[in-house]
C-alpha cells in the first residue's frame, strides 16, 4: 500500500479572480481534493471527509485494542459478535477483504 497524504487534513477555500474553489489540503501543504464552486455552493461535505481521515488512525488503533483485549472471546477460536463487527470495520478501513 502506498503512503497516504500526511494528516491532519483541513478544508481549504480560496478565490482566484472570479473563480472560487473549495477542497482539502494535507499536512504537507498539497491539495488532496479540489472543486470549483458554482455560485459559492458545493454539495461535497469536505468537513466530513476531513474528520473521517483525521481520526482514521485512532479509530483503527481503538478497534485493534478492543479486539486484542476482548474478555468475551479472548481465548476462543471464534470471535464474539463485537469482535466480528470490529474485524469487518478494520477490513474496510485497511481495504482488506473480510476474513
Ligand atoms: Zn471478542
Residues 5 and 27 in one domain: yes
Residues 60 and 50 in one domain: no
pLDDT tens string 32-48: 999 888 777 778 899 99
Residues 45 and 70 in one domain: no
Ligand 1 centroid from CA 53, angstroms: 26
Residues 67 and 43 in one domain: no
Residues 33 and 69 in one domain: no
Q: Which domain holds residue 38?
A: 1-54
Ligand 1 centroid from CA 52, angstroms: 25
Model confidence, pTM: 0.78
Ligand 1 centroid from CA 87, angstroms: 10
Residues 49 and 61 in one domain: no
Instruction: Give the residue among 59, 58, 60, 79 at the shortest CA–CA distance from 70.
Output: 79
Query: Does the pLDDT at position 1 exceed 70?
Result: no
Residues 65 and 83 in one domain: yes
Round to the nearest angstrom and report the end-to-end CA distance of the chain: 19
Amino acid at each position: 500500500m502506498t503512503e497516504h497524504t500526511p494528516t491532519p487534513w483541513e478544508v481549504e477555500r480560496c478565490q482566484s479572480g472570479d473563480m472560487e474553489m473549495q477542497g482539502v489540503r494535507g499536512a504537507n501543504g498539497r491539495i488532496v481534493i479540489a472543486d470549483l464552486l458554482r455560485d459559492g455552493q458545493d454539495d461535497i461535505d469536505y468537513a466530513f471527509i476531513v474528520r473521517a481521515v483525521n481520526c482514521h488512525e485512532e479509530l483503527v488503533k481503538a478497534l485493534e485494542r478492543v479486539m486484542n483485549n476482548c474478555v468475551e472471546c479472548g481465548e476462543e477460536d471464534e470471535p464474539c459478535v463485537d469482535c466480528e463487527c470490529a474485524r469487518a470495520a478494520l477490513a474496510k478501513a485497511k481495504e482488506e477483504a473480510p476474513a
